[in-house]
Structure 1
Amino acid sequence: MWTRFGDEPLKEEKVHKRRSTWALVASAVVAASLALSGCGSGGGAKTEGGKTVITFWQQKFEDYQQAWFKKEVDAFNASQSKVKVDYQVVPSDTWAQKLKAAQAANKAPDVQTTNYGNIAAAAANGELTELDGLLPASAFADIKDNVKSFVTIGGKHYAYPMLVEPSTVLYYRTDLVAAAGLDPKSPPKTWDELIQWATKLTKGNVKGMTIASVAADLGWASWGLQYNACGHLPVADDWSKSTATDPCFQKLLQFYKTLYQGGLMPKTPKVGYADASPYGQGQVAMMADGSWAVGQLKETFPAMVAKTAVAPFPSMDGDPTKTTATLGGWTLTVDAKSKAKTQAAGFIQWLLAGDPAIMASFFKASGFSKYTVRTSVDQALSGNTDANSDPFMKVISDKVVPYGKQEPSYPWDIALDFGTAIEGAMKGNLSIPDALKKADGQINDVIKKQSLAGTEPTH
Structure 2
Amino acid sequence: MKRKKHFIILIATLLFVSTILAACGDGPGGKNNPDMEGKTVINFWTPAWDEASEDWWNKWIDKYNKEQEDVYVKIEIIPGDAWDQRITAAQAAGTSPDITTMNYNKIVFSADQGKIVALDDYVDAAIFDDLYDNVRDFISVDGKHYAYPMLVEPSSLLFYNKEMFEKAGLDPNKPPKTWDELIEYGKKLKDGRISGLTAAGNTSELGWTHWGLQAMVGASPISDDWSEATINNEKYESLLNLWGTLYKEGIFPKQMPGPYTDIQPFAEGRTAMAINGSWAISQLRNDYPEILDNIGVAVLPTPDGNQDVPTASLGGWTLTIDGNSDHKEEAADFIQYMLAGDEEIMIDFFKNTTKFSKFAVRKSVDEVLAEDPEAKDDPWRKMIAEEVVPYAVAEPIYAWEISLAYANAMERVYLQGADVKKSLEQAEKEINDYIKTNDYAGTNPKQN
* TM-score, structure 2 as length reference: 0.90
Match of 1:447 in 2: 435
How far residue 88 of structure 1 moved from its aligned partner, in angstroms, is: 0.5
How far residue 283 of structure 1 moved from its aligned partner, in angstroms, is: 0.3
Match of 2:358 in 1: 370
How far residue 67 of structure 1 moved from its aligned partner, in angstroms, is: 0.9
Match of 1:333 in 2: 320
User: In structure 1, which of residues 105, 126, 138 is the aligned counterpart of residue 126 of structure 2?
Assistant: 138
Q: Is the 8 A contact 1:214 1:420 kept in 2?
A: no
More moved, 307-316 vs 271-280: 271-280
**Separation in 1 of the partners of 2:350 and 2:398?**
29
Match of 2:273 in 1: 286
User: In structure 1, which of residues 208, 211, 220 is the aligned counterpart of residue 196 of structure 2?
Assistant: 208
**Separation in 1 of the partners of 2:291 and 2:429?**
44
**Separation in 2 of the partners of 1:428 and 1:100?**
38
Which whole-Å deviations, capped at 9, do the CAs of 1:237-261 have from their partners, x for residues lacking one? 1111101101211110010011112
Match of 2:311 in 1: 324
Match of 1:19 in 2: none
How far residue 48 of structure 1 moved from its aligned partner, in angstroms, is: 4.2
User: In structure 1, which of residues 285, 293, 300 is the aligned counterpart of residue 287 of structure 2?
Assistant: 300
How far residue 429 of structure 1 moved from its aligned partner, in angstroms, is: 4.3
Tell whether 2:414 aligns with 1:431: no
Report the 3-state secondary structure (helix = DSSP H, G, I; strand = E; otherwise coil) of the residue aligned with 2:42. Answer: strand
Which whole-Å deviations, capped at 9, do the CAs of 1:295-318 have from their partners, x for residues lacking one? 111122222211111110011111
Match of 1:186 in 2: 174
**Separation in 2 of the partners of 1:405 and 1:104?**
31
Which whole-Å deviations, capped at 9, do the CAs of 1:313-360 have from their partners, x for residues lacking one? 011111111111111100000000000000001000000000111101
Report the 3-state secondary structure (helix = DSSP H, G, I; strand = E; otherwise coil) of the residue aligned with 2:390. Answer: helix
Match of 1:260 in 2: 247
More moved, 422-431 vs 81-90: 422-431
Tell whether 2:238 aligns with 1:251: yes
How far residue 56 of structure 1 moved from its aligned partner, in angstroms, is: 0.4
**Separation in 2 of the partners of 1:353 and 1:251?**
41
How far residue 445 of structure 1 moved from its aligned partner, in angstroms, is: 1.4
**Separation in 1 of the partners of 2:307 and 2:93?**
50
Tell whether 2:64 aligns with 1:70: no
User: In structure 1, which of residues 343, 346, 350 is the aligned counterpart of residue 337 of structure 2?
Assistant: 350
How far residue 450 of structure 1 moved from its aligned partner, in angstroms, is: 2.3
Report the 3-state secondary structure (helix = DSSP H, G, I; strand = E; otherwise coil) of the residue aligned with 2:59. Answer: helix
Report the 3-state secondary structure (helix = DSSP H, G, I; strand = E; otherwise coil) of the residue aligned with 1:114. Answer: strand
RMSD after superposition? 1.3
**Separation in 1 of the partners of 2:417 and 2:252?**
18
Report the 3-state secondary structure (helix = DSSP H, G, I; strand = E; otherwise coil) of the residue aligned with 2:165. Answer: helix
More moved, 107-116 vs 293-302: 293-302
Q: Which amino acid aligns with 1:392?
A: W
User: In structure 2, which of residues 72, 76, 79 is the aligned counterpart of residue 88 of structure 1?
Assistant: 76
**Separation in 1 of the partners of 2:254 and 2:284?**
23
How far residue 453 of structure 1 moved from its aligned partner, in angstroms, is: 1.4
How far residue 423 of structure 1 moved from its aligned partner, in angstroms, is: 1.1
Which whole-Å deviations, capped at 9, do the CAs of 1:89-142 have from their partners, x for residues lacking one? 011111122222222332210001100011111112210011111111100000
More moved, 47-56 vs 89-98: 47-56
Structure 2's unaligned 5+ residue stretches are: 1-34
Matches within 5 A, 1:265-280: 265-280=252-267
Report the 3-state secondary structure (helix = DSSP H, G, I; strand = E; otherwise coil) of the residue aligned with 1:306. Answer: helix
How far residue 439 of structure 1 moved from its aligned partner, in angstroms, is: 0.7
How far residue 269 of structure 1 moved from its aligned partner, in angstroms, is: 2.3
Which whole-Å deviations, capped at 9, do the CAs of 1:183-210 have from their partners, x for residues lacking one? 1222111101111111111112211101
Which whole-Å deviations, capped at 9, do the CAs of 1:427-451 have from their partners, x for residues lacking one? 1342111111111111111222222
Match of 2:405 in 1: 417
**Separation in 1 of the partners of 2:61 and 2:355?**
21
**Separation in 2 of the partners of 1:450 and 1:143?**
36
**Separation in 1 of the partners of 2:424 and 2:220?**
13
**Separation in 1 of the partners of 2:417 and 2:215?**
24
Q: Is the 8 A contact 2:42 2:73 kept in 1?
A: yes
**Separation in 2 of the partners of 1:233 and 1:63?**
38
State percent identity of aligned pairs: 43
Q: Is the 8 A contact 2:101 2:320 kept in 1?
A: yes
Report the 3-state secondary structure (helix = DSSP H, G, I; strand = E; otherwise coil) of the residue aligned with 2:213. Answer: helix
Q: Is the 8 A contact 1:154 1:457 kept in 2?
A: no
Report the 3-state secondary structure (helix = DSSP H, G, I; strand = E; otherwise coil) of the residue aligned with 1:178. Answer: helix
Q: Is the 8 A contact 1:166 1:400 kept in 2?
A: yes
